[in-house]
Each structure stands twice: as structure tokens, then as C-alpha cells.
Amino acid sequence: MDNEERLFNSGVLTGERKGAVLPPKDLWENKKGGLVVIECPQRIPCNPCATSCPSGAVKPFVDINDNPEIDYAKCTGCGLCVAKCPGLACFVIDLTFAPGRALMKMPYELLPLPSKGDKVACLNRIGEAVTEGVVENVAEPLKDSTKVLHVSFDRKFVDQVRAVRVVK
């Protein structure tokens, strides 16, 4: 078993695959507010991303074990799926945020909770810092204590950043 297989078998996504693909570049680069990215490549009984999506962008599942499928033309970037996903697998990424910078709406369930303006270490899928980010907003879209951070960072890391660590 090679290292990539070992990582995937331990729960680390090692590349695009069914249930974990990036949006079409041409649409993504021009979509104000961003598009959802769902990294849920294993068939598990879970569908809150689909049932919480007000626009129908996350297509309804035929089988509750299906991988999520997205109609990117319908995605508004609202982030409700980010707050609702129990597996922390949904993100909204806005490539139009600022020149050279992306904005990611990501789930956050740790303490300390960062504040707007805080600098954070942006981490890849295995927890390594790959760049620095700035917290642009801390939201609670469902008013249920589930926090969604809006973090801006260098756009060239958009396919790597999936979490943050507070730097104090």
C-alpha cells in the first residue's frame, strides 16, 4: 500500500474523486459569494448538506449513502451546508473576494474562537500550516452555536486549505 492509499484509508482526502471535486474553474472564478466544495468521498449514511440547501444546489440523494452531487449553477454560497454538515466536509470558497485572495467559509468547533481581524495559520488536510489567513467574519448561520469562519488567504492555496489554527 503506497502512502496516498494509507492516508486515504486513515481519513485524509488525497485528491479529487467522486464526492470530492472542485467546482468548474470558469464558473468559480466569476461567482460572487463563492461556490460550495464538499469533500465527502466515502459512502456513508448522511445527507444534511442536501436537506439544508435552500437553492437545491446539493442534489437530493436517491440513497442516503450517496456521495453529494452539486449543481453549481444553483449554488448561492450561503454556507448553510457548512454549518449543517456533521463531518465538517463542506466549505464555500469565493475566488472573487479580492485580487489574489480567496475567502473560505469553513466550520469551526474549537476553542479559542478567533475574532474578526485575527491572523490564523491555514492548514492543509494533514494539519500542516501552508499559509497565513485573516479572519474576516465569524458567523453562526443556524443560531445553534455552530460557528462558520470566513477566512481570507492567498488564492494559490485554495485547493489545500481546509482548516485553521488560532495563532496567539
What's the confidence (pLDDT) of residue 34?
97
> Who's near 142: CB < 8 A, 6+ residues apart?
80, 83, 84
Confidence bin at 2 (pLDDT 50/70/90): confident
Confidence bin at 12 (pLDDT 50/70/90): low
3-state secondary structure of 87: coil
- 4 vs 127, higher pLDDT: 127
Q: 24-73: per-residue pLDDT in tens?
A: 999 999 999 999 999 998 889 999 999 999 999 999 999 999 999 999 99
- C-alpha to C-alpha distance for 18 and 104, rounded to whole angstroms: 22
Residue 10 has pLDDT above 70, yes or no: no
Alpha helices per DSSP H over 29-127: 48-52, 80-84
Of 15, 150, 155, nearest to 95 (Cα)? 155
Q: 110-152: per-residue pLDDT in tens?
A: 999 999 999 999 999 989 999 999 999 999 999 999 999 999 9
